Amino acid sequence: MAVTNGFGQGVINNTIEWGKGSTNATNGWGEIYEDSPSGDTAIEGASFTNVYSTEFDGVDDMIPLASSVNMGQAGSLSFWFKRSAGAGTIMGEASYQYKYLLYINGNNLYFRAGLGYRLFNNTATTNALNTSDWVHIVFTRDVSATEIKLYVDGTLTQTKTTNNSNDFLLGGIGGVPTMTFGGIACKIDEVSCYDAVLDATAVSNIYNSGTPTDLTGTSNLIAWYRNGDNDTFPTINDNVGSNNGTMTNMVSGDIITDVPT
């Protein structure tokens, strides 16, 4: 063959051969021109990586969602959280400040449902909130069992009773627009919502020994916000559906490379 180059084909006579562009009438990626072995080179999808999280200033930073995620009367909420300073709202329902709200006051974690709230303040919870490390938090709520459970770093730490029968909703991450007090200065990563009560095994799998994992295909997953990964400012994508969030009062620099490891 004369010294001619095809797309992806080496110069044959000079014996410089790398993956093949074309033969006389066929194309074969990964095949050597005029050599006997042939076939396709497997092209695998990108492996899961977690590189980014979002940082909130504790003043007016927030990520309201296009519409509220409804986890129903038996649902679960998972997220990674790193406290920077102070107290305030972590996330909640944007349509009405007391419908659902997760917030820190002092060194205590509160789950508000309606006009009532439940205080989670045992030693394990308080110690987790007082560190400068990433913490994995899962709340499960089961109306039929009148229970709210809190898991911290994959371990059940407390169970509380609740008589509130409203659906479990999430309308915003970080500050909530209708709240009477501000958000908390913190970093948040990998927020996921489920329309089922996760059991201890499922929570442990999500915690994954302290490293976020790929949730694609997870049972009962109805919304997943990666808080930077696969996102373009100011949109925080819903990696399950299309109920995206919008970074509000924030800048592109609030997508940072501080993540749980």
Q: How far is CA 185 from CA 18, 73, 131, 175, in A?
A: 53, 30, 14, 10
Q: What is the CATH number of the domain that holds 125?
A: 2.60.120.200
Report the number of distinct structural domains present in the chain.
Answer: 2
- Residues 12 and 123 grouped into a single domain: no
Beta strands at 100-105 and 108-113: parallel, antiparallel or unpaired: antiparallel
Q: List the beta bridge partners of residue 105.
A: 108
Residue 24 has pLDDT above 60, yes or no: no
- Residues 85 and 180 grouped into a single domain: yes
Which of 258 and 21 is assigned the larger pLDDT? 258
Residue 26, both tokens: 């066929």
Residue 11 has pLDDT above 50, yes or no: no
Residue 226 within any structural domain of the chain = yes
pLDDT tens for 162-206 read 888 888 999 999 977 655 557 899 999 999 999 999 999 999 999
- Residues 77 and 142 grouped into a single domain: yes
Extended beta strands in the chain, E state: 53-57, 62-70, 74-85, 88-92, 100-105, 108-113, 116-120, 135-142, 147-152, 155-161, 169-174, 185-194, 221-225, 235-236, 245-246, 255-256
pLDDT tens for 35-70 read 433 444 333 446 899 999 999 999 889 999 999 999
Question: Residue 32 belongs to what domain range?
Answer: 1-44
- Residues 105 and 66 grouped into a single domain: yes
